[in-house]
A and B are shown apart, each in its own frame.
Chain A
Amino acid sequence: MKEKLDAIKAEALARIEGAKDLDSLNDIKVAVLGKKGELTAVLKSMKEVPAEERPAVGQMVNEARAAIENRLEEEKKRIARMLRTEKMKRETIDVTLPGKKNLRGHRHPNQIALEDLERVFIGMGYEVVDGPEVEYDRYNFELLNIPANHPAKDEQDTFYITKDILLRTQTSPVQARVMEQGKLPIRMISPGRVFRSDEVDATHSPSFHQLEGLVIDKGITFADLKGTLEQFAKEFFGEKTRVKFRPHHFPFTEPSAEVDITCFKCGGKGCRMCKGSGWIEILGCGMVHPNVLDMCGIDSKVYQGFAFGIGLERVTLLKYEIDDMRLLYENDVRFLNQF
């Protein structure tokens, strides 16, 4: 019996060794382990074995079966792996073919710059406030210390609708509106569209955008203004940015300043972008004029504040090195796709 079992086992293992594919392995399985298989036949002939030997023979049969099954399983895995490897070989692709692109839209560069600016100021605790683009003279000029016939009205070349209603020339009227509401302290920015009657050319547009900032509280100082804008500049233009405050004049702030930052292209060494000076003018600012506070119903003896205004297009043109402002309004997809 033992010899017979050994012979079956040996033959089966030898056949497995010679099997070329999964089908022949299956055939072997059927031929040896199947219902009519050789090993099954041995089991069937157990009744001829004396009862006392049966457990030992049974164990031998099981061992032989397990050995063959294990071997079959191993071989199956090996062949399957081999087949998959071959299949993958056939599936080889040219990975240097270009990637598939979805039709993707792009954000307008001006909008990107605006969102970057907003992010910095929101992080510093500023609330974003909207205001009307068609505005009363009162908010655009009068409350900002620009009385009737003030030359600034001429300088800014205002578009008028009626005597009292105009297209706002700056985002500053939002300041006046917020102050007039009287909720203090104020820490706000107001981005938006403004209008001046400049003919369209590479550096002018009758419609452009500003971002206005206003802080009003007790004890706000010019030093705070400096600190705030310095922090903003480092945040927005990079840690190494240096800031220069130059005295200037705006009717609604006193003292007033224009702010230059070190050129972000050359870092202050002087290049074409900064016209060799190493500095780039980016915004105007100042301490809110006491007249403005008082006119808007805030006691200038108790409260002080600062305001600043940034020309968005200027920042966009500088940041992306765009040489012609008209591109911003043309909406050529070849332009927009670059952002």
Chain B
Amino acid sequence: MNTPISWMKAYVPDLDVEVQEFVDKMTLSGSHVEGYEKKDKNLEKVVVGRIETMEKHPDADKLVVCQVNIGEDTVQIVTGAKNVKAGDLIPVVLDGGKVAAAHGDDTEYPEGIRIKKGKLRGVESSGMMCGIEELGSSRDFYPEAPEDGVYVFQPESGVKPGDDAVKALGLDDTIVEYEITSNRVDCFSMIGMAREVAATFDKPFYPPVVTVKANDKDVNDYIKVTVQDTELCPRYCARVVENIKIGPSPKWMQDRLKAMGIRSINNLVDITNYVMEEYGQPMHAYDLDTIAKREIVVKRAEDGDTFTTLDGQERKLDSGVLMICDGEKEVGIAGIMGGENSMITEDVKTVLFEAACFDGTNIRLASKRIGLQTDASFKFTKGLDPNNALEAINRACQLVEEMNCGDVVGGVVDMYPNPVHEKVLPFEPERYNALLGTDIPEETMLAYFKKLGLIYNESERTLTIPTFRQDLGCMADLAEEVARFYGYDNIPVSLPKGEATVGRKPFSQRVEELVREICERNGFSGGMTYSFESPKVFDKLLLPQDAVERQAIVISNPLGEDFSIMRTVSLNGILSSLATNYNRRNKIARLYELGNIYLPKALPLTELPEEKMRLTLGMYGEGDFFTMKGVVEEILERLGIRGIDCEPANDIAYLHPGRQARMMKGKLEAGIIGQVHPEVGDNYNLKTEAYVAVLNMDILTMLAGFDRKYEGIAKFPASTRDLAMVMDKSLFVGQIEHVIRKNAGKILESCELFDVYEGEQVGEGRKSVAFSLSFRAKDRNLESAEVDKAVEKVLDALKQMGVELRS
């Protein structure tokens, strides 16, 4: 919402503050100022001058030398402008002054351009005549300005040499831009903002006093209105103006519209625009002679109807769109845009004014569906106060009379079957203070309410809320009004008292914290990827058509197919990020992400899905499967999770079939590790060996424990035996280790692999595997024979698997 300060002053004439103070205080009282523009910020020493004489420049054909009367003085100015002549009144920037822009130059000059006296082809020139662009505006708002040349004041403007040209052109104004919150519908109007201004600066507020004389004819003889859908149109006001005299609107109105960035069209159109800005109530004017049977019917469109709006576009309608119709046809889309068929033209004789109230939600949805948003629809979507409509239409008629552009017909058609009444709320000063933590006296509060138009009933101790403040409905709302004007800054500062509480995190976050730490220590950086992705991900990951992962939640209104399903596999994000790094030629990348996957219990969704936290690790450039496995093992160990088996797998579609494993705790899957399937790598444009691991944080959190007990430090020596064995290549080292641990008895302290060898020495299809076994008893020195016996038992068991001790 933009408001010129000059327009505010029309209702708050005593307002007299510097711009900075104005915007600061407005912000602190709740009208957040997003910015402001001083229209004359780069204009200095610009006055009205009259060209007294004009002579040819002695040395330049295209230049003339003028003597310009600037009131108390006359200056000599050389110009190349062709549209001026002696006697013209023009804006002149004097020596040392400033203009906003240069002639015929689109460059922006944030600081403006300083003008100094100088010589043009040897002739002294003490200033410059200004075009409208040089003054920081355009012909859009000053249509009388020449297309190319110096602005010339119209004779009727009444300016004289020496006058402040900035003021004369209405450029001495500041436009303030507010961010109005959705609850303050009333502030989308000049009057509403002015009421806030008056209350903020504690100055008297003078809204327009609306009176319409009208002639003694009856509007009901001109028009009949029927509202079929009173829910979508709670109020419809209509008035008629005849003997229309189309012409320009007066300068004050043009200036105010100009300041709002609205181009003046003619008196009639300007009035509707003006009232819309002033009251926040959109108005529409129909040429009554185009209204068939002189009848207006407000009703819903039919599905499939089309309608041509006054911008010449054909619009598709449906039964949710409210239409304004005449006795035969549709003449406008209610609250959004009028039709070409009833448009006001220069030949209009009789005008029908409409000021209606339409349901905000319906206008919002309809304008979205039709794909047409207008100033009017924007206002309606906020949900207007129906009680404003009558005042607004009368104001329009008052302006018609004041501006003498037609005869207002007596009477108003007012279809308002269910009037909105003012709310009455109790006045509860103690509760406002209790909520705010303040000690504000009652009288002070009542003074704030009074400024806002709330009426206090002393005997009932109640407040009557005007209907334009639809946002005030309960104690807390009134407390906020008190707080705003008391000043949020003046409210004291304290800390919550009462029962002490313990600050803490859920256990799952403690687990996550440790996991992050381990990942980072192993070179993995924290990544962040989207929760939604493309359904194409499943194909990229080579998941079979019947894979359960394909059962994903679909977003009904996604930003596009690429963001349309909630991920059921966490890998896509990390793989894409690895690819980004790879294609930007980063030699090594290691990334991890802790994020949810979303598993529906049934599709379509009838209840919330399961959200499962996944730790996804991905890397390329250095390290292999076992680097990744080492990280996973470290995580498990630090979380105190034991007894996890690394089971070879070959069925995980997106991993290399010979390099993938599941980390299992019994039947619980704690995670997977593997090399990215080369084809998946190709699909992601990640054309290097990459490794990933995905850990199921829900399982890890369930298994994790941070309790440790001191077990003592071994007092007796260990004895170690190294076993080098030859076996079939297909046997997994994990199987061997399993057999060793199972058979070596309690005295086995550790069992560590120290060599794996394949080659000529052990023969084709075979490999050599060497373990170092360490034996120790807690309570005694081990006898050599006891250890030998254990080793023998291990070897016997291994022999049955075809494992031989290497000689």
Contacts and interface: CB of A to CB of B under 8 A. Distances in A.
B17 interface: no
> A136, A328, A332: which has the most chain B beta carbons within 10 Å?
A332
Contacts of A155: 182
A312 B529 CA distance: 15
Interface string A298-329: 00000010000000000000000000000011
Given A122-B505, A135-B608, A333-B525, 14 more contacts: A104-B521, A104-B523, A108-B527, A125-B503, A134-B611, A159-B556, A220-B496, A221-B434, A247-B29, A247-B32, A248-B181, A257-B488, A330-B580, A333-B588
B580 A332 contact: yes
B40 to A, nearest CB: 20
A90 to B, nearest CB: 35
Contacts of B157: none
Interface string B463-486: 000000001001111011001100
Nearest to B492: A223
Nearest to B493: A227
Interface in B488-507: 488-489, 491-506
Interface in A219-238: 219-224, 226-228, 230-231
B30 A247 contact: yes
B625 interface: no
Interface in A116-156: 118, 121-130, 132-136, 149, 151-152, 154-155
State the majority secondary structure of interface residues on A: mixed
Contacts of A122: 503-505
Contacts of B574: 331
B474 to A, nearest CB: 6
Contact of B505 (A125, A128, A195, A217): A128
Interface stretch (B340-348, B534-542, B589-597): B589-597
B502 A127 contact: yes
A254 B611 CA distance: 33
B389 interface: no
Interface string A107-119: 1101100000010
A92 interface: no
Given A105-B592, A221-B435, A254 B529 contact: no
Nearest to B368: A154
28 contacts: A102-B523, A105-B520, A107-B525, A108-B528, A118-B505, A127-B502, A127-B504, A128-B504, A132-B608, A160-B555, A162-B556, A165-B608, A167-B532, A207-B530, A207-B532, A219-B497, A222-B438, A222-B483, A223-B494, A226-B493, A245-B489, A246-B27, A249-B181, A255-B480, A331-B528, A331-B591, A332-B581, A333-B589
Contact of B577 (A245, A247, A331): A331
A244 interface: yes
- The bracket for how many chain B residues form the interface is 35 or more
Contact of A328 (B471, B528, B558, B566): B528
Interface stretch (A26-34, A57-65, A284-292): A284-292
B32 to A, nearest CB: 6
A116 B568 CA distance: 30
Nearest to B496: A224
Nearest to A162: B605
Contacts of B509: 128
A238 B183 CA distance: 35
A125 B581 contact: no
Nearest to B594: A111
Contact of A331 (B435, B559, B581): B581
Interface of B: 27-30, 32, 181-184, 360-361, 364, 381-383, 434-438, 471, 474-477, 479-480, 483-484, 488-489, 491-506, 508-509, 516, 519-532, 553-559, 563, 566, 574, 577, 580-581, 584, 586, 588-592, 595-596, 598, 604-606, 608-609, 611, 622
B488 A105 contact: no
Nearest to A290: B476
A31 B573 CA distance: 82
A108 B557 contact: no
Contact of B506 (A130, A133, A215, A333): A130
Contacts of B501: 125-127, 185, 187
A70 interface: no
A24 interface: no
Interface in A36-69: none
Contacts of A104: 520-521, 523
- Nearest 3 CB-CB pairings of A with B: A223-B437, A221-B437, A249-B181
A257 B183 CA distance: 14
Contacts of B499: 185, 217
Contacts of A125: 500-503
Contact of A290 (B184, B475, B528): B475
Nearest to A188: B501
A132 to B, nearest CB: 6
B480 A256 contact: yes
Contact of B590 (A105, A152, A230, A328): A105
B590 A134 contact: no
Contact of B523 (A105, A151, A244): A105
A175 to B, nearest CB: 16
B553 A152 contact: no
A159 B480 contact: no
Given A134-B611, A151-B364, A224-B437, A103 B523 contact: yes
Nearest to A293: B476
B186 to A, nearest CB: 13
A59 to B, nearest CB: 49
Contacts of A187: 496, 501
B436 A223 contact: yes
Contacts of B471: 249
Contacts of B434: 219, 221, 304
A197 interface: yes
Contacts of B28: 246-247
A224 B494 contact: yes
A239 interface: no
A133 B611 contact: yes
Contacts of B522: 103, 105
B335 to A, nearest CB: 15
Contacts of B588: 103, 333
B521 A105 contact: yes
A199 interface: yes
Contacts of A136: 608
A19 interface: no
B605 A161 contact: yes
Contacts of A127: 501-505
Nearest to B527: A331
Given A103-B622, A124-B503, A331-B591, A195 B531 contact: yes
Contacts of A222: 435-438, 483, 491
Contacts of B182: 151-152, 155, 249
A137 B708 CA distance: 44
A110 B501 CA distance: 27
A218 interface: yes
